[in-house]
């Protein structure tokens, strides 16, 4: 067994960190690592936490971790941030919250940031979750910033999604309506120590009640005062119990299918790109398009056929 893999299985923090770094960098070791760890995964419950910046996701996740620790769980926090370039696996906010948990070996905190495309980030995040799962963390809280593709992709890793809102959200609420309404199982209205939380709850309820058979719920919390955090944890546990075996198996199959489709698409993209860039035929075709002798769509079909040996035209 790979030394890092066996360290991960023993729950050793240094090995966990090395494994996740290896996955982030997609280095030579990462594939072997994942193939060795994968059989030991599938036990953890993964909760996604997303929402607009500044709503208190990180604070809430940290408080939630405390509650679950007191209930005997081992908790890992993975912060996935497509916008911030990092080094050494930690961004500033995490250093601060790590202090809160620094004496507790039952909590592990890690940030991952994009080194380019978002597709690559979610791929790395999925595998990082598996590392944490194999290391024995039975609850994994995945925080993503609710802007862009990443928070939508959280749906395909998490068993349950919490969308964090707060009073006095301005334009962000529009973004929420656009992308986040659908993916939430639980809306947590954080900063309910401030005025205006009831109004947010009222608005959410009026949206939710207009939907048939929705199991979505909303509740007020405050990461600052601790209000509602126990109730939020209870709600998560309730959801978990309601997610009967058959349903979870179905969901897992769907998540895995989504993952494989994305991975293959990503790999094909990378292969196509490297094949094209240095190909003299590619350059000739570009020149033809520039001279208006060939249109871009026909050029695309031609390239797919010539370089990849496939027909790009949809077959009926
Ligand atoms: N009043 C109040 N402030 C909060 C609460 N939770 C977080 N904050 C503050 O909101 C700011 C953003 O919090 P953070 O957790 O970094 O938000 P994130 O960007 O969603 O991860 C920080 O200054 C927090 O101290 C809360 O429940 N009440
Ligand atoms: Mg944060």
pLDDT in tens, 178-217: 677 788 899 999 999 999 999 888 888 887 787 766 788 9
Strands 107-113 and 217-220 turn out to be unpaired
Integer Cα distance of 140 and 145 in angstroms: 16
Q: For residue 145, how far is its CA from the centre of ligand 2 (angstroms)?
A: 7
Q: For residue 221, how far is its CA from the centre of ligand 1 (angstroms)?
A: 12
Terminal CA-CA length for the chain: 47
Residues near ligand 2 ion, CB 5 Å cutoff: 57-58
pTM: 0.86
Mean pLDDT of the chain: 85
Query: Which contacts (CB < 8 Å, 24+ apart) does range 95-100 have?
Result: 97/58, 97/59, 97/62, 100/62, 100/66
The pLDDT of 108-115, averaged and rounded, is: 80
Q: What pLDDT, in 10s, does the model give residues 59-92?
A: 999 999 999 999 999 999 998 876 555 444 445 5
Q: For residue 143, how far is its CA from the centre of ligand 1 (angstroms)?
A: 14
The pLDDT of 266-281, averaged and rounded, is: 87
The tokens describing 206, both together, are 């009026």
Integer Cα distance of 106 and 10 in angstroms: 13
Q: What are phi and psi of 46, to 5 degrees?
A: -105, 120
Q: Which ligand 1 atom is nearest residue 62's CA?
A: 15
Q: What pLDDT, in 10s, does the model give residues 121-174?
A: 678 889 999 999 999 999 999 998 766 655 567 777 899 999 999 997 765 565
Ligand nearest to the CA of 223: 1
Q: For residue 54, how far is its CA from the centre of ligand 1 (angstroms)?
A: 6
pLDDT given for residue 277 in this prediction: 85
Q: Are 68 and 233 in contact (CB under 8 A)?
A: yes
Mutate to test the pocket of ligand 1, among 51, 56, 95 (most ligand atoms within 8 A of CB): 56
Whether 117 shows a pLDDT value over 50: the answer reads: yes
Nearest Cα neighbor of 143 from 223, 202, 208, 215 is 223
Task: Please work out whether the CB of residue 54 comes within 6 Å of at least one atom of ligand 1.
Answer: yes
Nearest Cα neighbor of 47 from 250, 237, 284 is 237
The tokens describing 138, both together, are 């039975």
From the number of C-beta atoms within 10 Å of its C-beta (0-12, 13-18, 19+), residue 191 rates as buried
Q: For residue 185, how far is its CA from the centre of ligand 2 (angstroms)?
A: 20
């Amino acid at each position: 067994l790979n030394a890092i893999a066996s360290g991960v299985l023993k729950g050793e923090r240094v090995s966990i960190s090395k494994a996740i770094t290896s996955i982030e960098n997609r280095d030579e070791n990462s594939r072997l690592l994942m193939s060795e760890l994968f059989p030991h995964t599938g036990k953890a419950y993964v909760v996604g936490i997303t929402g607009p910046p500044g709503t208190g996701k990180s604070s809430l996740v940290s408080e939630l971790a405390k509650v679950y620790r007191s209930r005997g769980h081992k908790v890992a926090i993975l912060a996935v941030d497509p916008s911030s370039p990092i080094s050494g696996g930690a961004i500033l906010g995490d250093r601060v919250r790590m202090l809160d948990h620094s004496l507790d070996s039952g909590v592990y905190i890690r940030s991952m940031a994009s080194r380019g495309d978002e597709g690559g980030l979610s791929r790395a995040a999925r595998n990082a979750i598996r590392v944490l799962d194999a290391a024995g963390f039975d609850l994994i809280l995945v925080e993503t910033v609710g802007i862009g593709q990443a928070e939508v992709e959280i749906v395909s890793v998490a068993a349950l999604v919490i969308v964090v809102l707060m009073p006095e959200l301005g334009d962000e609420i529009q973004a929420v309506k656009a992308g986040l309404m659908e993916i939430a199982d639980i809306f947590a209205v954080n900063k309910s120590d401030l005025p205006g939380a009831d109004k947010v709850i009222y608005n959410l309820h009026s949206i939710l009640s207009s939907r048939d058979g929705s199991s979505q719920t909303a509740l007020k919390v405050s990461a600052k005062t601790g209000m509602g955090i126990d109730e939020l944890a209870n709600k998560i546990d309730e959801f978990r119990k309601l997610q009967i075996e058959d349903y979870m198996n179905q969901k897992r199959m769907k998540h895995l299918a989504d993952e494989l489709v994305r991975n293959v698409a990503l790999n094909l993209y990378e292969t196509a790109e490297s094949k094209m860039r240095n190909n003299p035929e590619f350059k000739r075709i570009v020149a033809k398009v520039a001279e208006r002798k060939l249109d871009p769509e026909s050029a695309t079909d031609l390239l797919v056929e010539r370089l990849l040996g496939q027909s790009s035209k949809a077959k009926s």
